[in-house]
Chains A and B, each alone.
Chain A
Amino acid sequence: MEETTKDDELPAAVAAADVPAAGAPAQGAARNAGEVLIEVEDLVKHYGPIKAVDGISFKAHRGDVLGFMGPNGAGKTTAMRLITGFLTPDSGRVSVSGFDMTRNSLAGRQRIGYLPENAPAYGEMTVTGFLEFIAEARGVTDGGAIRRVIEMTELRRVAHQTVETLSKGYKRRVGLAQALIHDPEVLILDEPTDGLDPNQKAVVQELISNLSAGKCIVVSTHILDEVERVCNRAMIISQGQMLVDSTPPELIERSSTGRLDDFFREITQGVSR
């Protein structure tokens, strides 16, 4: 098997993918804000005759918290699965931290923390055991990493319980903890607050806000308040297409009633009719 390090791969990946030089993280350089971490170009994915994602393009930078909004079945989850490399696009391109997710998926995946929809986890494992597995699989050698994410997501009380015995809120936090264990620069969170009570929602939203400084975070959500609270960019997806790429204040301004909810309804229902 070929021995390649990040330094070896990077120029090739960047050259092949024709990513602007600003997108390449230079070794030892300070983490500069504004650097492009996610680049999505004309992404298309079909499920049989259905076009789940239909030509989505965007760039997201370090420091961005990007809110993915859209009705159920709009293609948010599929788009996230394409960005994380779980699915391969029919056409188009995704690059994460300068790595093409089709050609150099493993290197890209090392830089992504991903919370899939419903926060799946191995139910029979204890929280600590599960996090140890993820750390080992990701090659995390820092012994304090597990303790750090358990503190961050406030899981200490249930650390020795099996995942299947936990409440929804705790399960979601376990999912967040595994996504954070390698301190990734890109975080993809699929409905991180879905089904949580208001207190749990506030905890998760605060965590996302606290994390946003050095990272690029993509959050999908139905809760429009959440976008206002944690995101600096808002995208509305419907029927696989990106309808709006803007900021929350701008969307509110464009709404006839001054409310994000109303703007969301106007624009998504306008399309589906």
Chain B
Amino acid sequence: MSQSTARFTGLSAVFKRELKGYFSSPLGYIFLVIFLLASGWLTVSRDFGRFLELRQASLDAFFAYVPWLFVVLVPAVAMRLWAEERKSGTVELLFTLPITLEASYLGKFLAGWCFLGFSLVMTWPLVWQVARLGDPDWGALVTGYLGCVLLAGAYLAVGMLFSAITKNQVVAFILGTAATVFFLLVGLPQSLQFIGDFLGGYTEQVALALSLSDHFETLTRGLIELGSIVFFLVFTATWLVCGMLALDRVKAS
């Protein structure tokens, strides 16, 4: 068998195993139920999204809360990906199979990302309601969901790095949540003002450019801004590469 095919079969074997894992353990179903209930409730609640009171055929109310729900839920999906392998010793089995570390890492990432994508697909009743009650801007809906998918990937890559560097899933979860909150908050006006006042110079612009929330909002407004899409891809790839390097160093400890 040629090496490139070997690499691909390895990646797809890891991908399939992980994806099945989400549906053969309670974790996957718990995640889905909590995500769907929480996102639905936050969207229509009078205290939060006020979806019905706004009388607008848009899912802005939903998109506003997705980044905050994902802050808790995506690290929960990511935490087991490597910490469990390292704790149980299966990492030794995995890395002595003819699969590169990069292929295993990507296989797991793609499986987690697909699972998160599936959970977003399961929010279809919201879309159906919007279409039933009014005449939504379909462009904004599509870019909004695209933003959600990209955001999920970015959070997952962050969470995976922390799962790679610790054997303790709880530690991985807390660090993952803290890091994603940081990248969300850094783009809020209050944070930007604080950063500008304290550090001055270009730091405010740098913080804004690094902020996940700002790029996400651009997409939910219905704008396909190439810069924002590229930002998400580069952000995700950077965290993936850092995670691979970190895992290679600590895999045997």
Q: Hey, which chain B residues are within 8 Å of A86, CB to CB? A: 92, 95-96, 251-252
A135 to chain B, nearest CB (A): 9
**Who on chain B is nearest to A5 by CB?**
B2
**Who on chain A is nearest to B10 by CB?**
A137
Asked if residues A109 and B98 are in contact (CB atoms below 8 Å), the reply is yes
| CA distance in complex: A178, B93 (Å) | 10
Asked if residues B98 and A138 are in contact (CB atoms below 8 Å), the reply is yes
Bin the interface of chain B by size. Answer: 20 to 34
Q: Hey, which chain B residues are within 8 Å of A114, CB to CB? A: 93, 96
Q: Hey, which chain B residues are within 8 Å of A139, CB to CB? A: 1, 5-6, 9-10, 98
Tell yes or no: A133 within 8 A of B by CB.
Answer: yes
Interface residues of B in 79-118 (CB under 8 A from A): 88-90, 92-93, 95-100
Asked if residues B17 and A110 are in contact (CB atoms below 8 Å), the reply is no
B3 partner, pick from A106, A118, A133, A138, beta carbons under 8 A: A106
B92 partner, pick from A112, A116, A133, A178, beta carbons under 8 A: A116
Tell yes or no: B50 within 8 A of A by CB.
Answer: no
Q: Which of A106, A109, A112 has the most CB of B within 10 A?
A: A106
Tell yes or no: B190 within 8 A of A by CB.
Answer: no
Q: Is the interface of B mostly helix, strand, loop or mixed?
A: helix
Count A-B pairs with CB separation below 8 Å: 83
Bin the interface of chain A by size. Answer: 20 to 34
A110-B252 CB under 8 A given contacts A120-B90, A120-B93? no
Q: Hey, which chain B residues are within 8 Å of A1, CB to CB? A: 3-4, 7
A33 to chain B, nearest CB (A): 26
Asked if residues A106 and B5 are in contact (CB atoms below 8 Å), the reply is no
Tell yes or no: A58 within 8 A of B by CB.
Answer: no
Q: Hey, which chain A residues are within 8 Å of B92, CB to CB? A: 81, 86, 116, 120
| CA distance in complex: A118, B97 (Å) | 17
| CA distance in complex: A125, B25 (Å) | 10
Tell yes or no: A221 within 8 A of B by CB.
Answer: no
0/1 string, A84-120, CB within 8 A of B gives 1: 1111000000000000000000110110101011101
Q: Hey, which chain B residues are within 8 Å of A3, CB to CB? A: 2-4
Asked if residues B13 and A137 are in contact (CB atoms below 8 Å), the reply is yes
**Who on chain B is nearest to A85 by CB?**
B96
B106 to chain A, nearest CB (A): 13
Interface residues of A in 65-87 (CB under 8 A from B): 81, 84-87
Q: Which of B4, B13, B25 has the most CB of A within 10 A?
A: B13
**Who on chain A is nearest to B99 by CB?**
A137
| CA distance in complex: A177, B78 (Å) | 30
| CA distance in complex: A136, B16 (Å) | 10
| CA distance in complex: A87, B16 (Å) | 26
Q: Which residues of B contact A (CB under 8 A)?
A: 1-7, 9-10, 12-14, 16-17, 21, 24-25, 88-90, 92-93, 95-100, 251-252
A-B contact pairs, 20 of them (CB 8 A): A1-B3, A4-B3, A84-B96, A86-B92, A87-B252, A107-B3, A109-B97, A109-B98, A116-B96, A117-B89, A121-B90, A122-B17, A122-B90, A133-B13, A133-B17, A134-B97, A136-B9, A136-B12, A137-B98, A139-B98
Q: Which residues of A contact B (CB under 8 A)?
A: 1-5, 81, 84-87, 106-107, 109-110, 112, 114, 116-118, 120-125, 133-134, 136-139, 178
Given contacts A87-B252, A125-B17, A136-B16, 5 further A-B contacts (CB under 8 A): A85-B95, A86-B96, A114-B93, A124-B21, A139-B6
